[in-house]
Amino acid sequence: METNNPKSQCQQLWARNKYLVLSHSSNIYNEIRQYLKNEEVEVSRVQELIDCACQIPEHRGQVCNAFQHIWGYFKKKATDAERKDYMLLLDRYRFGQASKEELIAQTRDLLERYPNAYLQNSTLLRGDSHETLA
């Protein structure tokens, strides 16, 4: 549902891009979280911070952190085998033995089994570089 309320627009933009931002910069992730606590917020400022984060090269540790946050949505539903497979893939990625695309694919497989609209709209999981409201 689209709205003209700037706070709501900022929250929608953030919801879609938060894990993408986290995969690049935990500092900017935290900066956006703090900014959104303000009474007055601007979509352009949130977009500027998202763009800034996306200019920072991804670091395997940051990407792992983002996917560990994402795993939190599955941990109560997934089987022990799924958990072990996911954690093994995360470790393999951390040490350069798996690609981010493999992480995305395995996460999408989990989303098919355990649907979650919030995660399904994530730009990180959809493979979008990042998205604007424009």
Q: What would the two tokens of residue 115 be?
A: 């649907």
Domain boundaries, the chain: 6-55, 60-123
Count of CB atoms situated within 10 Å of the CB of 67: 25
pLDDT at 39 over 50: yes
Asked if residue 12 lies in contact with residue 6, where contact means CB atoms within 8 angstroms, the answer is: no
The structure tokens listed for 61 are 């540790």
End-to-end CA distance of the chain: 15
HSE-CB at 5 with a 13 A cutoff on CA atoms is 8
Q: What are phi and psi of 67, to 5 degrees?
A: -70, -25
> Residue holding tokens 């700037």?
6
Q: How many CB atoms lie within 10 A of CB 66?
A: 25
Q: What is the 3-state secondary structure (H, E, C) of 65-92?
A: HHHHHHHCCCCCCCCHHHHHHHHHHHHH
8 A C-beta contact, residue 78 and residue 114: yes
* Per-residue pLDDT reduced to its tens digit, 55-111: 999 999 999 999 999 999 999 999 999 999 999 999 999 999 999 999 999 999 999
Confidence tier at 4 by pLDDT (50, 70, 90)? confident
